[in-house]
Copies of this chain bind each other. A is one copy, B any other.
Amino acid sequence: MNDGEAPDLRTRHKQATREAIGAAALRLAIEQGPNGLALVRVNDIAAAAGVSPRTYNNYFSSREEAICAFQADRARRLGAALRSRPAEEPLDQAITAAVVGHFTTPEPDRAGLRMIMSTPELEGEALKAFTMAEGPLAEAIAERTGTDPARDLFPQVTAAAVAGAVRVAGRCWLSPGNTDPFAAVLRRALAHVLPATRSDGPHEPPRETQG
């Protein structure tokens, strides 16, 4: 489950610093709103995180990267989440369970997500984060289905489709008037792409309705 137990004191402190900078950056970005991203200066982020500006730049090479660090780190672990599902579980159920569990514990911060999704530059960075997750996810899918990723596009394409569904679900969850929990929206979105992962029967595309 956890790989590499003994966290060196140095490593722990490094991780804490990274998270502190990321959290400070996200908080300041939220304060300024989607149109005031340029007003979030590096000095402010560093000061809010209690480090020097140079140290900030030692961890991140752009404000966007710092602000989206939390999302990026989370996305990076998606492949491991799928691997932790029981091997007997059908692929679509395993993916759904892994994704839902991975992106709803804890329930994501609405303000932070909205900030990221409604700011073009940040959305680009979040996109990069999701794409980084596709590689490990595709590997996990290939391993689970016994597919050779070098000869079959199925794992990569499925991983990309899943990542896209998660992204769309995020947008939908944030849309005004939506009352469903994130998990429900995620399931609905995934249901549209996961039927392609089964070859054992017909699929009735779910035509759900949303408030």
Where the two chains meet, the residues of A that have a C-beta atom closer than 8 Å to any C-beta of B are 120, 123-125, 127-128, 131, 134, 150-154, 156-158, 160-161, 163-165, 167-169, 171-172, 185, 188-189, 192-197, 199, 201-205, 207-210
A205 contact from B124, B128, B197, Cβ within 8 A: B197
User: Which residues on B sit within 8 Å (CB–CB) of A157?
Assistant: 164-165, 168, 189, 192-193
The answer to whether A207 and B131 have CB atoms under 8 Å apart is no
The answer to whether A160 and B151 have CB atoms under 8 Å apart is no
The answer to whether B123 and A124 have CB atoms under 8 Å apart is no
User: Which residues on B sit within 8 Å (CB–CB) of A164?
Assistant: 134, 157, 160-161, 163-164
User: Which residues on B sit within 8 Å (CB–CB) of A134?
Assistant: 164
State in angstroms the CA–CA spacing of A157 and B191 once bound together. Answer: 10
User: Which residues on B sit within 8 Å (CB–CB) of A163?
Assistant: 164
The answer to whether A189 and B124 have CB atoms under 8 Å apart is no
A152 contact from B128, B169, B197, B209, Cβ within 8 A: B209
Other contacts beyond A120-B128, A134-B164: 13, CB < 8 A: A123-B131, A124-B127, A127-B128, A127-B131, A153-B188, A153-B210, A154-B207, A157-B164, A160-B167, A193-B196, A195-B203, A197-B205, A202-B202
The answer to whether B154 and A160 have CB atoms under 8 Å apart is no
